[in-house]
A and B are shown apart, each in its own frame.
Chain A
Amino acid sequence: MNIYLQELRNYRRSTIIWIVSLCLIVFLFMSIYTSFALDVSSAKHLLEAYPPTVLAALNLKIEIFFTIYGFFAYLMTFAWLTAAIQAMNLGVSVLSKEVAGKTADFLLTKPITRVRMLSEKLAAVFTLIVITNIFFLATSLLSAVAVSKGDLHIKLFFLIAVTMFFVQVFFLALGFMLGAIIPKVKTVVAVTLPVVFTFFILSAFGGILKIDYINYLTPFKYFDPLYIYQHSAYEPKYLLVLLGVVAACVGTSYASYMKKDIEAAS
């Protein structure tokens, strides 16, 4: 438990900053919905004039965009991106900082197994993600209730908002694996940003090129707002893929870290 608590303490400040940023984004964005909803017809007209490829690249579903769900789902694209960076930063740094800060010697000469060390660290960053999402959900829900006219379908809205959690879990696991595999990570964001943006750009291309299998490659495509809107559920095939990727990443992290030689500092 001590490593777990220590890690929670370590990331307390940065997590608060992430939470505040995410909540602020959703709050500000949702607060313009009222004025946006007032002038739907002209905006709809404007958007319809856009080429479909542009809309696809923007992940903008015109069918539902003018509902609060579509509006919120559009915002989620950016929340995903931001949250993905937060999650992957956590995943990468929680292991790699011990090597970069040369503190791995301190930790691993303690009477603990590496499995315990990995598990406590993973549990800690996972907890931070859960906390982030609780705040994000609460803020989203409250803002949505405030701007909707009492006809908010809570479950549907909830389903859309929780997608951020799944995206974060994906990137957390991926980051954790990279942190375990890469011998020495000097700067965390130098790993995080290229990876997250690659996935993001991939999702934009998938939308434009209409190549279906690309959708499997990037978690930014796992949660189609239109599908969620129509079915009030997630697409099971993507959930399975996500679960598989997460399991594979975590498994690889453990396997790799167990075999790892901790080289002398200096």
Chain B
Amino acid sequence: MNVIETKKLTKYYGKSRGIENVDLTVEQGEIFGFIGPNGAGKSTTIRTLLGLIHPTSGSATIFGKDIKEFGPEIREEVGYLPSEVFYYDNMRAIDLLRYSASFYKKPKKDIEKRINELAKLLDLDLKKKIDDLSYGNKKKVGIIQGLLHEPKLIILDEPTGGLDPLMQQKFFQLLRDENKRGATILFSSHILGEVQKMCDRVAIIKDGTIIKTEKISDLLENNTKRFKVETVKEIDEKVFSSINGVSDTVRVGREINFLFRGHLDDVTKKIAELDLLNLEVTEPDLEEIFLHYYK
């Protein structure tokens, strides 16, 4: 079953583009990455799914229910953590969380227990006023707030800002546990490393349009290799850049660097003709592939 399915989802703010014809399918139980630079349309997509903004055209369903018709019903089972959290400053963390809990149908006792568990895990003092919490601690309130009702779908919009590396790890572990419990996760980020670490599949969004949806493993495989060729004599980089599938060619002295996607033979044949000093073939990281899409 698809937990999220959007069809040609489009949002214009007046004349300026938010997103255009976004087709997104997130399957039950997966951790789905949503990557793109700031302003690409990640937040717009997410906010549309949550009913915060209204789509200009197209449609979307969550749990098979239309987002426009069944908003409250859908949100009963959705946990949301935005990049920056804002709460009522004069409330204590625990009051805020209880207020948050009061919106859900789940038994009070269960939620209360979970709040305390999560607070302990994240090392958060619940008695403090929101106003007195540091940025990172506010974020922890946000995490608890998003997870306290054990949602079936967790939507994270650039969630890691403000968390120190240790807390980030705890947070990721928490998400993995939630995922094992059966929660589907939509994870939006512009930090590729974390998406690479967490996600099964990933959609890349650029200028409001999804340009590719792939399995992380495929994206990393896909026969894309990074080549570093060092030759005895300086050679023209056109030897490689003329090959179909080569990109990002950079020559520094006698060293030529490029990305290659295609039949490896095409490159190795060329290399065989050269007087080599050194040769390195590595897996490009997601960042490199990503940059490639953004050319």
Chain A positions near chain B (C-beta within 8 angstroms): 2, 6, 10, 101-106, 108-113, 259, 261-266
Contact = CB atoms under 8 A, between A and B. Distances in A.
28 contacts: A2-B102, A2-B103, A6-B99, A102-B84, A103-B88, A105-B86, A106-B100, A106-B145, A108-B50, A109-B52, A109-B78, A110-B100, A111-B72, A111-B75, A111-B103, A112-B72, A112-B103, A113-B72, A261-B52, A261-B53, A261-B54, A262-B47, A262-B53, A265-B82, A265-B84, A265-B86, A266-B83, A266-B84
B89 A101 contact: yes
A111 B73 contact: yes
Interface of B: 13, 43, 47, 50-54, 71-76, 78, 80, 82-89, 99-100, 102-105, 145
A64 B71 CA distance: 58
Nearest to A107: B103
Contacts of B103: 2, 110-112
A109 B99 CA distance: 13
B88 A110 contact: no
A106 B82 CA distance: 9
A88 to B, nearest CB: 22
Q: Which 6 A-B pairs have the closest CB atoms?
A: A102-B86, A111-B76, A261-B53, A110-B103, A2-B102, A262-B52
A109 B84 contact: no
A104 B103 CA distance: 15
B218 to A, nearest CB: 31
Contacts of A106: 85-87, 100, 145
A266 B100 CA distance: 22
Contact of B86 (A101, A108, A109, A261): A101
Contact of A264 (B43, B72, B85): B43
A10 B75 CA distance: 25
B76 to A, nearest CB: 4
A264 B102 CA distance: 24
Nearest to A113: B72
Contacts of A265: 82, 84, 86
Interface of A is mostly: loop
Nearest to A6: B99
A108 B71 CA distance: 10
B54 A259 contact: yes
Nearest to B157: A264
Nearest to A2: B102
A264 B45 CA distance: 12
Given A109-B52, A109-B78, A103 B87 contact: yes
A105 B85 CA distance: 9
A175 to B, nearest CB: 20
Contacts of B87: 103, 106
Nearest to A258: B54
Nearest to A97: B88
Contact of B50 (A101, A109, A259): A109
B89 to A, nearest CB: 7
A2 B108 CA distance: 14
A103 B75 contact: no
A10 B90 CA distance: 9
Contacts of B145: 106
B66 to A, nearest CB: 14
Contacts of A101: 86, 88-89
A70 to B, nearest CB: 44
Most central of A2, A106, A261 by chain B CB within 10 Å? A106
A1 to B, nearest CB: 9
Nearest to B76: A111
B100 to A, nearest CB: 7
Contacts of A263: 53
Contacts of B52: 104-105, 108-109, 261-262
Contacts of B82: 105, 264-265
Contacts of A259: 54
Nearest to A108: B52
B71 A113 contact: yes
A102 B84 CA distance: 10
Nearest to A259: B54
